[in-house]
Amino acid sequence: MTNYQGQWLKLSPVAIIYFAVQFVKDVGNNLIYLLPAILVGYNQFSENGLAIISGLAALLLFVAISALLKFYFYQYRLTDGRVQIHSGVFQKNHIDLPFERIQNVRFEQPIFYRPSNHVCMLLDTAGSSKLEAKIIALSKGVAESLKQEVLSHKTEQASSAETESTETEQEQLLNSRSVQDLVIHGLASNRIWIVLGALAPFFNSLSEKFIAGIENLGVDVDALMASSQYAFWQYVLFFLSIAFVVIAFMALISILGSVITFYDFKLTRSNDRYIRRNGFFTRHEVVMKLSRLQMIVYQQNWLDRILQRINLKFEQLGASLDRQSAGTSGGKIMVPSVTLSEADDLASDAWPENKLSAINYHPVSKRLAIRNTLIAFWLLIPLAIAFIYFDQAELSVATGGLFILTTGLVILSWKRWGYAMDEQFIYIRKGLIGVNYRCFPIHKVQQTQLHQSWFMRRFQLCSVRLVLACGGQTLPFIKRATGEKYIDTCLYQVEALRKSWM
């Protein structure tokens, strides 16, 4: 190990691929904003094939050059207990990180690193994400020995008690997901609708192409529609089967997405750290200290309810933007499609005293439903009347129907709302068609807010908002006395127990 000491080192050449991929990803992210323009101009583009190809070639060349330059200017060294990284071509970036500030060492392996067995080494610090260091390409062996060096430095410094704990450190498997579970997750997750939404701009041209394709096969669609030789139910059957095929195809894509993302999912625990590993192409590793856990969420959409599955989420610090871009150290740990008993096991492993599945929820005031119905009424009914006035009967009926539908949803969502508190935790239930159960320790509250509109004051109601490090949670339309009790209890527990929130 000593031969790494003190001298500036270059990365393995594989890193060039990494830089290139990173660059393409960045450009891709920015292109999303241009996507509508590209879609609109699609026809013009398709006529200038040559220009596009030469443009792409230039872009590729640019990517290659920038990756080479970045690789050339990237160097790192380990010297007297600190990691130093110099990077950047025009904008130089120097990172100088003492070993004792490193909280955790993680590896990430994108797919193109696998043949040569290289890894990215991520050094987590307690502080801001900007100081997070990433050594981009190391062969596995070198990375392991560096990790040992960093960690052994830590234990040297630490007290004997901590040395003991690192000795006993071993990972204990809490949960793993089989491909079958992931298939269920893919079926139940909403990805299908996201894909459908993304395809929406193409529907018109797709259906035209589809009909043209059928006509090419020798089927005259117009004649098919007009002729009386088929009964009405046959048409219905025909369209139903097409719809079925489309939905099945979408489901397949969604399942594929789920399997690729969560392939070989393993949640392990070593002492106070939870580690999540998953991914088919790029293996991800997310580490969370138990003390950082802010909230446990059980998430169930309507399909999950039918299939009796739950998506369990461990929410950490707020997913603010810079945290997310810093990679996977912040954010949450999601365990996809677990059964209720598995979810309860996981939740009680993290917080043994929580009663997430046993607690009785208090309903919120029915005034919430009344207020929301009134809002819908004033938005939609005058519109419906206006449509009648302008002789648009169909639109008027549609608006009226929308009002009835909204009212139904308002009542459903009101019925889902529920809240409860025991000695240590506050529980919230909410949802519309699916359900969402949340549970967080009272002493992790950051700030309390009590809101009251004029309408609520008349009925002695209030809304309470409890801000956690992972975001604000609202208890809407509860009795004012109850709301005040919740706030006073929160403040008292925070201030009197003086427990740390992270």
Partner 1 sequence: MLDDTFSNQPILPDNLPTVSSQAFTPLSPMYMKVNLMCRLTFWLIVVSALLSLYWQPWFVLPKTLELYLPQLQLAAGIFGLLTSAYGIIADKNKGYALREHDFSYRSGVIFKSVVSQPVLRIQHVELKHGPIDRHFGLSTLEIFSAGGTMHTFAIPGLPDEKARELRSYVLTHSDIAEND
In the chain, the N- to C-terminal Cα span, in Å, equals: 34
Question: What are the residues facing 284 on neighbouring strands?
Answer: 278
Give the three-class secondary structure for 338. Answer: strand
Convert residues 284-323 into a mask of x (bound to partner 1 by CB under 8 A) and - (unbound). Answer: ---------------------------------xx-x---
Amino acid at 258: S
Q: Applying CB under 8 A, does 25 fall inside the site for partner 1?
A: no
Amino acid occupying residue 353? E
> Judged by CB under 8 A, does residue 501 bind partner 1?
yes
Strands (E), 57-132: 75-79, 82-87, 93-98, 102-108, 118-125
In the set 116, 163, 449, 460, which binds partner 1 (CB under 8 A)?
449
Structure tokens at 475: 């208890």
Asked if 492 is part of the footprint of partner 1 (rule: CB under 8 A), the reply reads: yes
Q: Which stretch binds partner 1 (CB under 8 A): 51-59, 145-153, 274-282, 480-488?
A: 480-488
Tell me the C-alpha distance between 297 and 310, whole Å. Answer: 9
Comparing CB distances to partner 1, the nearer of 260 and 467 is: 467
* Residue 127 found at the interface with partner 1 (CB under 8 A): no
User: Shortest approach of partner 1 to residue 131 CB, angstroms?
Assistant: 17
Phi/psi zone of residue 337: left (φ > 0), alpha (ψ -120 to 50 degrees), beta? left
| Residue whose pair of structure tokens reads 């990494």 in the numeric block | 18
Amino acid, res. 138:
L
Count, residues in the chain: 502
Nearer to partner 1, 221 or 502 (CB): 502
Angstrom distance (rounded) from CA 424 to CA 272: 20
Is residue 378 close enough to count as binding partner 1 by CB under 8 A?
no
- Cβ-based nearer residue to partner 1, 336 or 441: 441
Near partner 1 by CB under 8 A: residue from 26, 171, 272, 488 = 488
Interface residue with partner 1, options 472, 474, 475, 479 (CB under 8 A):
472
Strands 93-98 and 82-87, bridge-based pairing: antiparallel
Cα separation, 320 vs 302, whole angstroms: 29
Q: Choose the stretch contacting partner 1; rule: CB under 8 A; options: 94-102, 127-135, 278-286, 489-497.
A: 489-497
Q: Which of 87, 96, 94, 95 is nearest to 69 (CA)?
A: 87
Q: Is 475 in the site for partner 1 (CB under 8 A)?
A: no
Q: Binding partner 1 by CB under 8 A: which of 467, 474, 479, 482?
A: 467
For residue 394, what are its two tokens? 């169909």
Structure tokens at 363: 């309903």
Alpha carbon distance 105, 66 (integer Å): 28
Q: How far is the CB of 359 from partner 1 (least distance, A)?
A: 18
In degrees to the nearest 10, what's the CA dihedral of 212, 213, 214, 217? 120
**In the set 436, 446, 474, 482, which binds partner 1 (CB under 8 A)?**
446
SS3 at position 309: coil
Q: Three-state SS for 127?
A: coil
Q: Classify burial at 153, counting beta carbons within 10 Å of its beta carbon; exposed 0-12, middle 13-18, buried 19 or more.
A: middle
Q: Of 103 and 446, which CB lies nearer to partner 1 in the complex structure?
A: 446
Count residues near partner 1 (CB under 8 A).
32
Q: Is 489 an interacting residue with respect to partner 1 (CB under 8 A)?
A: yes
Say whether residue 348 binds partner 1 (CB under 8 A): no
- Binding of residue 457 to partner 1 (CB under 8 A): yes
CB of 471 to partner 1, least distance (A): 7
Which helix (H) or strand (E) segment holds residue 213: the answer is: helix 203-216
- Which among 117-125, 149-157, 230-238, 479-487 is the span making contact with partner 1, rule CB under 8 A? 479-487
- Is 471 one of the binding residues for partner 1 (CB under 8 A)? yes
- Residue 460 contacts partner 1 per CB under 8 A: no
| Among 22, 448, 474, 482, interactor with partner 1 by CB under 8 A | 448
Residues in contact with partner 1, shown as a per-residue x/- string from 405 to 444 under the rule CB under 8 A: ----------------------------------------
The two three-digit tokens of residue 42, written as one number: 């699609």
Compare residues 348 and 482 and give the one whose CB is closer to partner 1: 482
CB of 485 to partner 1, least distance (A): 7
Is 469 a binding residue for partner 1 by CB under 8 A? The answer is: yes
Say whether residue 498 binds partner 1 (CB under 8 A): yes
Residue among 79 and 128 whose Cβ is closer to partner 1: 128
Which window, 91-99, 152-160, 161-169, 493-501, contacts partner 1 (CB under 8 A)? Answer: 493-501
Give just the sign of the alpha carbon dihedral 346, 265, 171, 121: negative
Between 294 and 396, CB nearer to partner 1: 294
How many CB atoms are closer than 10 A to CB 307? Answer: 16
Least distance to partner 1, CB of residue 127, Å: 12
Q: In sequence order, what DSSP letters do the residues of 371-429 get, joined into one string?
A: HHHHHHHHHHHHHHHHHHHTT-HHHHHHHHHHHHHHHHHHHHHHHH-EEEE-SSEEEEE
Q: Is 451 in the site for partner 1 (CB under 8 A)?
A: yes
Q: Considering the complex, state which of residue 392 and residue 446 has its C-beta at the smaller distance from partner 1.
A: 446
Interaction of residue 494 with partner 1, rule CB under 8 A: yes
Instruction: Give the closest residue to 360 by CA, choosing from 309, 429, 415, 412.
Output: 429
Q: One-letter amino acid identity for 14?
A: V
- Judged by the rule CB under 8 A, the positions of this chain that interact with partner 1 are 317-318, 320, 445-454, 457, 467-469, 471-472, 484-485, 487-489, 491-492, 494-496, 498, 501-502
